[in-house]
Amino acid sequence: MLDSLSLRAPNQYLSLPVLGEVLEGLCNWLQARGYPPKAIRRRVHGSPLLAAALRRRGLRSLGGLTASALRALAPKPTYWTAQLACSLVRSLTEYLRERGELASPPASPTEMRVSAYCGHLARVRGLAPSTVERNGLRMAEFLRFLEYDADPRRLRVLKIAQVDAFLAQKGRRLGRASMQKVTAMLRSFLRFLTADGEVPTGLDAQVDSPRCFRGERLPRALPWTAVRKLLCSIDRSTPKGRRDYAMMLLIATYGLRVSEVAALRIDDVSWRSRQIRVPRPKVGTPLLQPLTDEVATALLDYVRHGRGCSPHRHIFLRVRVPIGPLKSTAVSDAFDVWADRAGIQLPAPGAGGPHCLRHSLAVHLLRQGTSVKTIGALLGHRSAESTCVYLRLQVEDLRHVALPLHLAATPEVAE
């Protein structure tokens, strides 16, 4: 691989102490992940600087280093060669971590406590992996707020005032709906700690949740003309545009969540039987939907002319290196970009994002006379109550149900 990078003296890089023996494998790994030769060559140019840092530390092997120790070897990117060395360190860290050659740092008390809690959520309560991860991240924040690593005995003398202080800190940047979830997670964590005898009994019952009322949120549905305008505004002459159009069309056609779009795989599309199998990470059971001609055309256009060759089985991939599956946040970012270019006015502050397309589809079908049960089946809901959340009536809908106002005859004024 090094011979194909047009380096002036490739042997001088291969002869570097410690790094010389891993450079060839690293370059092959970068090439497989979609990095162009120019980007790989730049990382190789930064290897002498990293080798000098290893020599100053007296390190003769990379195997005993942890990820944080390896990243600490990167110089400050104050000049060009140092920036190349920093890029090399980042790529080398990912390469060695994937191969399992980095040492694992000892787990902190916070990590051990959160790991035990996540195991409880998965084994006892049967929560989805994404929910378990979200709970674990939030409770790690709570333990860091208490400075649990400095003194693990602090949980035994935990007071409700400290819990309230944590909630007050989170409440400065979270709304009531989000704070409801935080308080629910915190109560669950406190019950888990109570069962282990780590916190005083009854703390979970003292955690109050903010009040959210049914139907209090403003409608999140866009007019269907705005949805069509958004789709038409996407530039499909580029690989990114073809990918984004296919993603937005899937959401507007089937009401998919962003996590479902990101999780779609090549094997989920059955072209002969004209069906699409929608993975649903939120509930854990897939949903089978008919494959429409418009969606099939958009997917084929992206797969043939925008996706490129990749060993990854996910349909939607990043357009920048390293090539890999998209995350849910990337789907939201794509919607924000095209909605801004199309001049789409969001239904309400904080009610944007591609999820409003899911609401728009539900309202659009309802106005066409589709039953709530059919809409719920399309959205993958188990109860009509879940579907009704998507069918909040707007002013235009209320005008159609208003009764005519009959004006009484004005009595004549006696002269």
pLDDT in tens, 83-107: 888 998 899 999 888 888 888 888 8
For 318, other C-beta atoms within 10 Å of its C-beta total 17
Domains in the chain and their CATH numbers?
A: 2-99 (no CATH), 109-206 (1.10.150), 224-399 (1.10.443.10)
Tell me the backbone φ, ψ of residue 82, rounded to 5 degrees. Answer: -65, -35
Comparison of pLDDT for 384 and 275, the residue scoring more: 275
Confidence of residue 348 (pLDDT cuts 50, 70, 90): low
- In this prediction the pTM is 0.77
Please state the rounded mean pLDDT for residues 286-290: 89
Comparison of pLDDT for 240 and 63, the residue scoring more: 240
Give CA separation, 94 vs 8, 25, 71, 368, 375, in Å: 27, 13, 11, 51, 44
- pLDDT at site 249: 95
- pLDDT at site 415: 47
For 362, other C-beta atoms within 10 Å of its C-beta total 26
Tell me the backbone φ, ψ of residue 137, rounded to 5 degrees. Answer: -65, -40
Comparison of pLDDT for 3 and 208, the residue scoring more: 208
Confidence of residue 66 (pLDDT cuts 50, 70, 90): confident
- pLDDT at site 77: 84
| Model confidence pLDDT, tens digit, residues 303-342 | 999 888 888 899 999 988 888 899 889 999 999 999 999 9
Q: For residue 238, which amino acid is it? A: T
Show Cβ contacts of residue 71 under 8 Å, excluding neighbours closer than 6 positions.
89, 90, 93
Give CA separation, 68 vs 10, 77, 319, 342, in Å: 29, 17, 28, 43
- Tell me the percentage of the chain whose pLDDT exceeds 70: 91
- The span from the CA of 318 to the CA of 327, in Å, is 9
Show Cβ contacts of residue 286 under 8 Å, excluding neighbours closer than 6 positions.
268, 277, 278, 279, 280
Residue among 192, 191, 218, 219 nearest 207 (CA): 191
3-state secondary structure of 408: coil
Show Cβ contacts of residue 76 under 8 Å, excluding neighbours closer than 6 positions.
82
Please state the rounded mean pLDDT for residues 184-190: 95
- pLDDT at site 119: 95
The answer on pLDDT for 238 being more than 80 is yes
The answer on pLDDT for 3 being more than 70 is no
Show Cβ contacts of residue 268 under 8 Å, excluding neighbours closer than 6 positions.
276, 277, 278, 279, 286, 315
Which of these ranges, 4-18, 29-43, 301-315, has the smallest mean pLDDT?
4-18
- The span from the CA of 124 to the CA of 116, in Å, is 12
Active site residues: 257, 282, 355, 358, 381, 390
The answer on pLDDT for 286 being more than 80 is yes
Give CA separation, 159 vs 149, 165, 253, 258, in Å: 18, 10, 50, 39
| Model confidence pLDDT, tens digit, residues 360-398 | 898 888 888 888 888 888 888 878 777 777 776 655 666
- How buried is residue 402: exposed, middle or buried, by Cβ count under 10 Å (0-12/13-18/19+)? exposed
The answer on pLDDT for 411 being more than 60 is no
- pLDDT at site 307: 87
231, 248 Cβ separation under 8 angstroms? yes
Kindly state the tokens that stand for 193.
Answer: 């700690």
- pLDDT at site 130: 83
| Model confidence pLDDT, tens digit, residues 136-160 | 999 999 999 999 999 888 899 999 9
Kindly state the tokens that stand for 151.
Answer: 């003194």
